[in-house]
């Protein structure tokens, strides 16, 4: 204990020596406990408010992401069947990015079967632990300036994205807790705590390799500086040989078990998700420059974060000046982790996912560096001006304004949480419940969003983007992908397809279920029929989405030019011909519109929108007999279609020579 205490005292001295300009405030143990208690209460109440607000508006519980149900599906099967599988005990796969979080959920299922509250409570517990360790870490960085430690902790606990992600059922707060605790134990030279949290962080997310790299680089730097410039770095304390052996053994066993599990389940060192996401979001198809601009720069300079950015940059500047002087700065690991994590995603996976959740683990370190940079800036300003009260007041005002801004942004973000939770529920959850109610137990569902659909449908799913089914990964983002998907659908006896239009567009047959509003991310379910089902390639589907935008802007000639290219690429799409007919009709070319509409109906005889549009074209030309005949043919095959019946009744009594100027009554979606 004495040896450990001495190391802790020396590590605290590693903080740059205070000048007489700095405002010093050190809380006693009672006050410190009160502050910690308040922070922990806030870490529980603030994310709970998001959950409560969303329920009060939506009248149901949901998540703003589909991914949490992936963890829950694995966890439910692990608890019920003792198998790391995605359907009962039949689909054993390394499809979980965070196996340790899945195991914790599985243990939770022995306490409660309510998957929503199990996820909410675990997220809040890990957020509270993150705040607890972050406050201890901040106190270690600012040992004589507890007001700075409190300010940093308040910024963390009020962060809008951390509160949102806490209530999403994801592993993010577990990951952040382990990273912050690991950095704290590393600074305190607690070998066992450091080794355990470092190993578990890797079990939580494989991108923890960035943190491992940052710590390794920092330790070697400390060793180098202690040898090269011992006088400037007398405060550096290294692990002794026994501690290093202990760290290597503990960390090696934990990480070795991770690799062994993946090898046993999937035959690879890393989960399926790693390969699938690298293939789908490859830099070849996603701009690295856009990632840096939109998902990094704008993310960390948006609204309240802008007040942190300038002091953060001053903190970075201070680290560089210290390093130039061969003086060790104990916040180097925080900066290295931020840089390495962003670099890894920039280089391998330029995508931060919804709400920027892949970058959220750097928030505690970003906040810490910003508060440190602010202190260093005002210390410099105070030395320059010689006015202690003024510069300390300016620092307090800056931090106070930032905390208030964070609180305001937190409150606004509750609407984002509520709306996105509703967005996911309407599409994924309702689609899953429809499948559960309207399909037989032996049905197999092909989809790309495998979370809620697998969990609530209780059906076996085939994941066409490879998170669960790795056989799809090798063809992702290739021209042969859709053809390969169709082959696998037949091979794996798929019964139904559940796709968002933006991901996969099915044509030439009607959907059995459609959900979504605002023409964005429309979920559709189709009965798979090898003779009818036709899936558009990614290139053609992207072209279709582009043409929809042109038609909505009434740029009909440009739309026709693009559609001609799409027809050449895929002549079997009834949707493309229908859109061509719509554009031709809008330009007054009714004969062309008729020709393309007939082609659409040749490919898809029960295409209701095409039937109604062609009937309307005939009516506008005074061809009432043709107009009614096509409707009658359609209604024989679709007697329950009330829309077609009403349209027929509006046409049948019109005299053959009577013309109406009205054209297409349908709307491009």
Write the secondary structure of 175-197 as one string of H (helix), E (strand) and C (coil).
HHHHHHHHHHHHHCCCHHHHHHH
Burial 213-230 (b: 16+ CB within 10 A, else e): bbbeebeebbeebbeeee
pLDDT of residue 120: 98
The band of 275, judged by pLDDT with boundaries at 50, 70 and 90, is confident
CA 528 to chain CA centroid, Å, is 29
Query: Which SS3 state, helix, strand or coil, does residue 53 take?
Result: helix
Range from 115-129, 342-356, 365-379, 383-397 carrying the lowest mean pLDDT: 383-397
pLDDT digits (tens, 9 = 90+) for 605-623: 999 999 999 988 888 888 8
Tell which wins on pLDDT, 146 or 644: 146
Residue 19 confidence (pLDDT):
46
Secondary structure class of 524 (helix, strand, coil): strand
- pLDDT tier at 655 (50, 70, 90 boundaries)? low
pLDDT value of residue 640: 86
The Cα-based distances of 207 to 74, 98, 172, 186, 350 in angstroms read: 21, 11, 12, 19, 13
In the chain, what are the domains? 2-420 (no CATH), 422-535 (no CATH), 546-652 (1.25.40.10)
Contact assessment for residue 665 and residue 613, using Cβ atoms and an 8 Å cutoff: yes
Contact present, 190 and 247 (Cβ < 8 Å): no
Least confident among 51-55, 60-64, 81-85, 640-644: 640-644
- Within 587-666, residue ranges assigned H as helices are 590-603, 608-620, 624-637, 642-652
User: Is pLDDT of 390 > 90?
Assistant: no
Predicted confidence at residue 2, as pLDDT, reads 44
Instruction: Compute the average pLDDT of residues 327-346.
Output: 97
Give 668 or 495, the one with higher predicted confidence: 495
Residue 76 has pLDDT above 80, yes or no: yes
- Greater model confidence, 288 or 518: 288
Q: What is the pLDDT of residue 661?
A: 41
Residue 300 host element (H or E): helix 298-301
Tokens representing residue 584 in the block: 């031709």
What would the mean pLDDT of 586-614 be, rounded to a whole number?
Answer: 93
Question: Of 160-174, 224-238, 653-667, which gets the smallest average pLDDT?
Answer: 653-667
The whole-number average pLDDT for the span 453-471 is: 93
- 180-194, 229-243, 448-462, 471-485: lowest mean pLDDT where? 471-485
**Do the Cβ atoms of 656 and 625 come closer than 8 Å?**
yes
Mean pLDDT of 150-172: 97
pLDDT-above-90 percentage for the chain: 72
**Residue 392's pLDDT band (cuts 50, 70, 90):** confident
Per-residue model confidence as pLDDT tens digits over 232-261: 899 999 999 999 999 999 999 999 999 999
Look at 87-91, 167-171, 462-466 and tell me which has the smallest mean pLDDT: 87-91
Percent of the chain's residues with pLDDT above 70: 93
Query: Per-residue pLDDT for 520 more than 70?
Result: yes
DSSP 8-class letter at 425: I
The strand order across the sheet containing 444-447 reads 460-463, 444-447, 496-500, 523-527, 513-515
DSSP letter for 111, please: T
- Average pLDDT of 564-568? 96
If one counts every other C-beta atom within 10 angstroms of the C-beta of residue 487, the result is 12
pTM metric for this prediction: 0.90
Cα–Cα distance for residue pair 194/19, rounded to 1 Å = 32
Q: What is the pLDDT of residues 13-55, one digit of tens each?
A: 444 443 445 567 778 889 999 999 999 999 999 999 999 999 9
Bridge-based pairing state of the strands 460-463 and 444-447: parallel
């Amino acid at each position: 204990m004495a040896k450990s205490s001495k190391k802790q005292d020396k590590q605290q001295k590693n903080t740059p020596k205070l000048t007489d300009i700095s405002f010093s405030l050190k809380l006693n143990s009672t006050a410190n406990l009160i502050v910690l208690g308040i922070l922990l209460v806030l870490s529980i109440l603030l994310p709970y408010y998001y959950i409560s607000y969303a329920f009060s508006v939506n009248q149901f519980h949901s998540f703003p992401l589909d991914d949490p149900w992936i963890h829950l599906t694995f966890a439910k099967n692990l608890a019920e069947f003792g198998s790391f599988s995605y359907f009962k005990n039949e689909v054993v796969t390394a499809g979980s990015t965070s196996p340790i979080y899945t195991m914790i959920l599985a243990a939770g299922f022995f306490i409660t079967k309510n998957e929503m509250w199990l996820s909410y409570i675990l997220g809040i517990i890990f957020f509270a632990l993150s705040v607890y360790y972050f406050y201890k870490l901040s106190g270690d960085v600012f040992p004589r300036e507890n007001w700075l430690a409190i300010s940093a902790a308040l910024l963390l606990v009020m962060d809008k994205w951390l509160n949102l992600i806490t209530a999403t059922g994801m592993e993010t707060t577990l990951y952040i807790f382990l990273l912050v605790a690991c950095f704290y134990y590393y600074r305190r030279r607690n070998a066992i705590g450091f080794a355990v949290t470092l190993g578990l962080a890797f079990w939580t997310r494989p991108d923890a390799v960035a943190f491992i790299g940052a710590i390794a680089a920092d330790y070697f730097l400390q060793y180098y500086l202690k040898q090269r410039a011992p006088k400037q770095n007398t405060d550096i304390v290294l692990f002794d040989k026994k501690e290093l052996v202990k760290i290597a053994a503990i960390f090696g066993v934990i990480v070795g078990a991770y690799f062994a599990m993946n090898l046993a389940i999937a035959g690879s060192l890393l989960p399926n998700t790693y390969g699938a996401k690298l293939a789908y979001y490859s830099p070849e198809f996603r701009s690295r420059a856009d990632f840096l601009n939109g998902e990094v720069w704008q993310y960390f300079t948006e609204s309240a974060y802008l007040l942190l950015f300038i002091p953060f940059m001053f903190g970075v500047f201070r680290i560089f000046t210290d390093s130039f002087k061969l003086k060790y700065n104990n916040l180097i690991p925080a900066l290295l982790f931020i840089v390495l994590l962003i670099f890894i995603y920039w280089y391998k996976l330029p995508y931060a996912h919804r709400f920027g959740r892949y970058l959220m683990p750097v928030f505690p370190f970003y906040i810490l560096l910003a508060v440190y940079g602010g202190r260093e800036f005002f210390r410099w300003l105070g030395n320059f001006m010689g006015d202690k009260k003024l510069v300390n007041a300016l620092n307090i005002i800056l931090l106070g304004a930032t905390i208030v801004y964070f609180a305001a942004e937190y409150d606004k973000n509750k609407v984002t949480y509520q709306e996105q939770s509703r967005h996911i529920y309407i599409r994924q959850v309702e689609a899953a419940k429809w499948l559960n109610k309207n399909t037989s137990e032996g049905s197999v569902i092909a989809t790309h969003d495998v979370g809620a659909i697998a969990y609530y449908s209780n059906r076996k799913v085939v994941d066409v983007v490879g998170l669960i089914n790795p056989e799809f990964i090798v063809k992702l983002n290739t021209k042969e992908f859709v053809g390969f998907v169709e082959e696998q659908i037949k091979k794996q006896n798929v019964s139904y397809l559940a796709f968002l239009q933006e991901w996969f567009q099915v044509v030439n047959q009607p959907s059995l279920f459609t959900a979504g509003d605002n023409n964005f991310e429309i979920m559709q379910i189709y009965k798979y029929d090898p003779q009818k089902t036709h899936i558009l390639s990614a290139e053609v589907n992207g072209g279709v989405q582009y043409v929809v935008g042109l038609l909505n802007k009434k740029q009909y000639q440009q739309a026709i030019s693009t559609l001609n290219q799409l027809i050449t690429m895929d002549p079997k799409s009834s949707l493309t011909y229908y859109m061509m007919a719509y554009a031709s009709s809008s330009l007054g070319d009714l004969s062309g519109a008729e020709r393309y509409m007939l082609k659409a109906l040749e490919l898809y005889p029960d295409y209701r929108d095409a039937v109604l549009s062609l009937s309307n074209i005939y009516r506008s030309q005074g061809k009432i007999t043709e107009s009614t005949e096509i409707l009658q043919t359609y209604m024989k095959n679709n007697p329950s279609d009330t829309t077609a019946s009403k349209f027929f009744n509006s046409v049948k009594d019109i005299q053959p020579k009577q013309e109406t100027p009205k054209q297409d009554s349908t709307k491009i979606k």
